[in-house]
Structures are given as structure tokens and as C-alpha cells.
Amino acid sequence: MPYVSNGLKIFGKLATSIKQASFSISENAQTRLPGYTDSTKYFGQNWKSTAPGIDFILGRQPDTAWMNRAASKGWITKDTTFNSIFRQNSDQRITLSAQLEPIRDLNTTLNMSKKLNKNYTETFRCIDTSGGTKHSFKHLNPYAGGGLDVSYVAFKTLFGKFDPNRISATFKKFQDYRVILSERLGKANTYNVINGQTTPDAEGYYFGYGKYAIDVLIPAFIAAYTGEDPKSVSLIRQSNPNVKSNPFRGIKPKLNWRLDYNGLSRVKGLDKLFSNFSVSHGYTGNLSMNGFTSALLYQDVSRFGYPSFYDTLSKNYLPYFLVPNISIGEQFSPLVGIDMMFTNQLQAKFEYTKSRQLSLSLVDFQLSEVRTSEFVIGAGYRKRGLKLLAGLKLPKWLNKDGGKTLDNEINFRLDFRIRDNVTANSRLDQDNTFATGGSRDITISPSIDYFLNNRINIKLYFDQRRVNPYISSSAPIVNTRAGLQVRISLTQ
């Protein structure tokens, strides 16, 4: 009983900390079935012939078995000249959002999402196989494609040492993990077992799963750059049973978060120094594979769920899906953010953000990595009601009460920013990495804003930005702006 009691207490605290939560699942699917010969009556169904079926009118998307049954019942035209394309589309979305306050003044936002879209086309028609005496239906030119985008977490390898002109340790792991994934796939493929091809080559790769096989590269890349175990990372499914199936279902969406804490100004002793003291932290990441398409030459002759067609050119099995690119993006925005307002109207701010964008091309086997880090330091001071010099008189429209203090305000502001942005390219099995773009930007922006009253504002500003590129083909740039602005409002 004590265990149950503690569990209920924890659940109760969690429930009371939830301020707002939303969860949604949406799925939109369409099927265009040309050549349908039966008629529809009430609710889209011919109740005498039971065509096209309760499952179909309730939203089932036909697969190959359903199409074959429909043809055998005479629901599809037997006209051998009929060649309209059978089409299917599917769009699946999952979103989760929650706002929690586990302790006072700690606001937590959690987000998770998944998007999968797929399409499928084929020509399903009757073929004359014996000079007009025998006909059979064939599935011709099947073609599938789609895209995947999920919220993800990959920061385990974000903080490692990085030099745009040297191969990173993570990229070396990616190259090494290919052997492990090749072994997993080579031993799992039933065709290799049947044919006795279970011995690796001199480099450790198994038959049909070489160092540039898509089935090998994608899980090796995910394992290396997310810190997963290459022996347990999920593999790509080598089948497409229906338009709603997900070949990458092992890639699960993960929670992103945002934390904001405003309770430090309530701490005894600090409340005399700060009118506001907030700390923030946030992370967003995603993994995407857009534009994947099915391979026209894919074969699984015995339906083992593994490819059987060996491409003699690439010396790999041809997978069901060809993926041109896989991307991982992530950003700590900010990693640490501090905003302080002192009781004497002095303001201070510090923010550090860090991001990474990875894009692996599975066409030329090149990885593009964009890294960005940014420091922002800001300070400000505000003063209201400046006292006038003794004996100085101002017109009534500037000082209606005629006192020695103007109804004015002056703001001093200083912002300093350092931003590093560099792009590096690495190619598999080549011992060189080089920067292809990027720069270090340094910006300093002091300013003085003087609000004489609610109609007149005078601003003195200076802004300088220095750009120091990381590649020799670009020249350093310095941009400087300075000036005086006077704004007068004529409205009453």
C-alpha cells in the first residue's frame, strides 16, 4: 500500500502541475479507383452486390489483396485497352503540446510532432494473355513516394570538439558504424542465409550491404549523430503493404522543451536587488527525410521482407525505398538565457544559443554540417523625470505643471553580440574536411533614447558590425551606422 500511495501522490502532483495540454491525431487518405463497374446506392454501397464493401466506404484504403478480390468479383473492368492510373494519398500527423508548472514560477512547455505523407500509383488492368481466350489482372508500374518529419533529440554529439577543416570524431564513428549495420543486415537477410553468403569481405562488409548501401548509411548516420547504439538502432522496413504503412516507423518522435523560471526575484535577499530575474532554456530538434521514392527494380521474389535483387553496378541489394537526403536539425534557443532588472532600473541580459544542421546526401555521400553559436550581452538603464537647472523655464506644452521636473524619460542601452556561423563538408572515405562558408560576426550597438515628452523623442545611436569570413574567397566586411533621430508626433 505505501507504494501505491506514493504513486498516487506523484500522479496527483503531475496532474495539478499541468496548466494546458493538447493532443491531436489526424489522418487523411484518398483512393481513386478507376474502372469500377458496379453502381453505388445508399451511403455509397450497392447493398445487393455488397460492392465496394463496408470497409471501403468507412475509409479503408485498398491494398493489393483487396484489388485482387475486387477484380475476381467482377468489380473492375476487363477492357484490355483501359489504362487509367490507380492513385492513393495518405497524410498522417501527430502533435502533442503541454504547459506545466511543476513548481511555482517554473513554466515548462513540451512539444512533440510527427508528419508522414505518402502516395502510391500503379496501373491495374486486365491483360490478354492467350490471344483473346484468357485474361488476367496485373499490377503494372507500382510507384510509391513520400516524406517524413519528426521532432527529435540529437544533442548528445552537439558539444563535441569541432574544427571545420578536420574530420570530426562523430563523422569517424559514422564511417565505422557502417560495418556493424552491414553485419546486422547481412545476417538478417534470408536470401544471404539461403545462398550461404554470411561471410564478410576483407573490409568486414556483408554481401549486398556495402559501405554505400542506403540501408546501411541511414541507421549508421542516426546512431552516430544521436548517440544511439549501432547494434540496436532501428532499421528500414523493406516493404510497402499499403499507402499508410511507415517504412521508418522505428524512428519515434521525441519531446522538445522550453523552460522559463521567474522566481529568483522572490528569494529573500534577492528581492531587494531585483525587481525581475528570469532564467530561460529551450531545445527544438527535428529529423526529416523528404522525397523518398520506391525503386522500380526492387524485388523480393520469395516475400521474405528483404531485397533479393542484387545490383552489380553498386554491388548492393536494391532497397524498396530510395532516400536522396536525410537531415537532422537542432537548436538550443537559448542554451542559457538570463534577464535581470534591478530595483534601481538597471537592466542586464545574457544569452547563449547554439544550433546545428546536418544534411547527408545519399547521392554523392557528402555530409554538410552547419554550426552556429551566439553570445549576446546587453545592459540598459532607464531614468524618468530629469531635474531642470535652477531658473530654467520651459513652455507649458513641455511642462504643464510648471515644476522643476520634466515628464520625460531617458534610456541608455548597450548590446554586444558575437555570432559564429560555419559550414563544413565531409565526404565518406576521404581524409579531408573543409569549410565552405561562414563567418564570425561581432556587433556592438550603444544607443541613447531621450523621450522629452509623449510627443518628442530624440535618439542617438551607433551600430557597427564586423564580419570575418572563414574562407579565403570572401573578404572581411565592416558596416558602421551612426546618427541622430528626432521624432515629433503632431497628434493630440
In this structure, what C-alpha cell is assigned to residue 314?
553498386
Output the CA–CA distances (angstroms, integers) from residue 287 to 139, 284, 337, 358, 476, in the order listed.
34, 11, 26, 9, 35
Summary count for the chain: helices (H), strands (E): 6, 16
Give yes or no for a contact between 296 and 321, defined as CB atoms under 8 angstroms apart.
no
pLDDT of residue 330: 97
List the one residue out of 408, 384, 383, 406 whose CA is nearest residue 396: 406
CA 339 from chain centre, in angstroms, equals 28
Say whether pLDDT at 389 is over 70: no
pLDDT tens sequence across 148-186: 999 999 999 999 888 888 999 999 999 999 999 999 999
Which of the pair, 422 or 388, is modelled with greater confidence?
422
- 228 vs 251: CA distance, rounded Å: 12
pLDDT of residue 111: 96
Which DSSP symbol is given to 318? P
Model confidence at 208, pLDDT cuts 50, 70, 90, reads very high
Which residue shows C-alpha cell 536494391? 318
Of the chain, the percentage scoring pLDDT greater than 90 comes to: 65
pLDDT tens sequence across 299-328: 999 989 999 999 999 999 999 999 999 999
List the one residue out of 142, 138, 102, 139 whose CA is nearest residue 119: 142
Which DSSP symbol is given to 48? T
3-state secondary structure of 187: helix
The 3-state DSSP composition of the chain as helix, strand, coil percent (nearest 5) reads 15, 45, 40
In this structure, what C-alpha cell is assigned to residue 173?
564513428
pLDDT of residue 199: 92
How many other CB atoms are found less than 10 A from the CB of residue 326? 24
Q: Give ∠ CA 123-125-129 in degrees, rounded to 5.
A: 125
Point out which residues pair with 138 in neighbouring strands: 125
In this structure, what C-alpha cell is assigned to residue 249?
516507423
Which of the pair, 112 or 396, is modelled with greater confidence?
112
Residue 367's Cβ-count burial label (10 Å; 0-12, 13-18, 19+) is buried
Of the chain, the percentage scoring pLDDT greater than 70 comes to: 90
Say whether pLDDT at 336 is over 70: yes
Say whether pLDDT at 372 is over 50: yes
Beta strand spans in 104-185 (E): 106-128, 135-151
pLDDT of residue 397: 56
Residues with Cβ < 8 Å from 380, sequence gap 6 or more?
346, 347, 348, 411, 412, 413, 414
In this structure, what C-alpha cell is assigned to residue 195?
545462398
Give yes or no for a contact between 117 and 61, defined as CB atoms under 8 angstroms apart.
no
Question: Is beta strand 321-322 parallel, antiparallel or unpaired with respect to 325-342?
Answer: unpaired
Residue 135's Cβ-count burial label (10 Å; 0-12, 13-18, 19+) is middle
Output the CA–CA distances (angstroms, integers) from residue 327 to 148, 330, 400, in the order listed.
10, 10, 63
- 118 vs 292: CA distance, rounded Å: 9
Q: Work out the average pLDDT over 198-224.
A: 95
Mean pLDDT taken over the chain: 89
CA 381 from chain centre, in angstroms, equals 39
Q: Work out the average pLDDT over 17-33.
A: 91
Which residue shows C-alpha cell 515644476? 403
Point out which residues pair with 387 in neighbouring strands: 405
Give yes or no for a contact between 307 and 155, defined as CB atoms under 8 angstroms apart.
no
- 456 vs 485: CA distance, rounded Å: 11
Beta strand spans in 316-469 (E): 316-317, 321-322, 325-342, 346-361, 366-384, 409-427, 433-451, 456-469
pLDDT tens sequence across 433-462: 888 999 999 999 999 998 877 778 899 999
pLDDT of residue 340: 93
Give yes or no for a contact between 120 and 243, defined as CB atoms under 8 angstroms apart.
yes
* Among 198-212, 248-262, 264-278, the least confident range: 264-278
Which of the pair, 390 or 349, is modelled with greater confidence?
349
Residue 231's Cβ-count burial label (10 Å; 0-12, 13-18, 19+) is exposed
- 147 vs 331: CA distance, rounded Å: 22
pTM: 0.86
Which residue shows C-alpha cell 542516426? 222
Half-sphere exposure (Cβ direction) of 132: Cα atoms closer than 13 Å: 0
Which DSSP symbol is given to 265? G
Give yes or no for a contact between 238 and 188, defined as CB atoms under 8 angstroms apart.
no
pLDDT tens sequence across 93-151: 999 999 999 888 899 999 999 999 999 999 999 987 665 556 689 999 999 999 999 99
Say whether pLDDT at 253 is over 70: yes
pLDDT tens sequence across 50-96: 889 888 888 889 998 999 999 999 899 988 888 899 999 999 999 99
Model confidence at 399, pLDDT cuts 50, 70, 90, reads low
